[in-house]
A and B are shown apart, each in its own frame.
Chain A
Amino acid sequence: MAKYLVVETRDPFDSNDVDDVYDLATGLADDSNDVTVFLVQNGVLPVRKKSAAAKRVAQLAKKVTVLTDDFSLRERGIEVDEVVDGVRASDIDTLVDLIAEDGRKVIWH
């Protein structure tokens, strides 16, 4: 089992690639890999329950660990209680801990 950290910086309404990145993360998890998706910058926009993409993020969170950057949430006026179930608020220090984990591969999008 390999360990992956997928850093998603983009909003799915800005880039159609985001859906492919979610699929990549899900596929890696389906292959029994340890996968964490860290949402940062505009990557946090779809985590709002009112977002049309929230269901997609909720599906992703059922397969992999999904974390959001608290700084990016605050910058965009998104409160933690607005975040879709299964997604956890996190911070940049946690992202660094994941990067520093032995053997964890980082994919930045």
Chain B
Amino acid sequence: MAKTITFALMDPPYETAATTTAFRIIDSALRKGHKVNVFAYEGAVNLTMAGQSPHPNPVKGTSAEEEEHPNTKDWVSSLLKNHGDRLEWINCGLCVDERGAADTVEGPKRGSPKEFAEWVKASDNTVVIPAK
């Protein structure tokens, strides 16, 4: 039976393995047919910044194309593209302003902890993945 699961993410991109784990969990939950809400708080608002770009690896002598290293915005875009009818993503507005992170890929909305609280009340479960 499909459930509604809300996640709170706090880590900025490329900081800890928790971001990768969160993406894996969200992807699995969506593939299973659950509805997923993501509230990106603090540094996690940088996950969706449109200006991210892949880089080459000078140590290995490989180009960005050869590396095929996805940026976090690509993960979010892919999740929204494939499951946008069951995935909602809100970035904390104040956190966005502090970080100058308003230019996002298509899909994420601006919100506040009020929306997070409403999601928590309406969800079957909530998973808070805190910063270390």
By a beta-carbon cutoff of 8 Å, the part of chain A in contact with chain B is: 9-10, 40-42, 69, 71, 92-93, 95-97, 99-100, 102, 104, 106, 108
Instruction: Tell me if B's interface is mostly helix, strand, loop or mixed.
Output: mixed
Contact for A100 among B21, B124, B129, CB less than 8 A: B124
B25 sits at the interface (CB 8 A): yes
Q: A96, B17: Cβ atoms under 8 Å?
A: no
Q: A9, B126: Cβ atoms under 8 Å?
A: no
Q: B17, A99: Cβ atoms under 8 Å?
A: no
Give the tally of cross-chain contacts (CB within 8 A). 47
By a beta-carbon cutoff of 8 Å, the part of chain B in contact with chain A is: 3, 5, 17-18, 21, 24-25, 28-29, 32, 34, 124-130, 132
**A-B CB contact pairs (8 Å), 22 listed:** A9-B17, A9-B18, A41-B18, A69-B21, A71-B24, A92-B24, A92-B25, A93-B32, A95-B25, A96-B25, A96-B29, A96-B34, A97-B32, A99-B25, A99-B29, A100-B3, A100-B29, A100-B32, A100-B34, A104-B125, A106-B128, A108-B129
> Which of B25, B34, B128 is packed against the most chain A CB atoms within 10 Å?
B25
Q: How far is the CB of A2 from chain B (nearest CB, A)?
A: 13
Q: Closest residue to B125 on the A side, CB-wise? A: A99
Question: Which residues of chain B have C-beta atoms less than 8 A from A71's C-beta?
Answer: 24
Q: How far is the CB of B105 from chain A (nearest CB, A)?
A: 24
Q: How far is the CB of A37 from chain B (nearest CB, A)?
A: 15
Q: B28, A108: Cβ atoms under 8 Å?
A: no
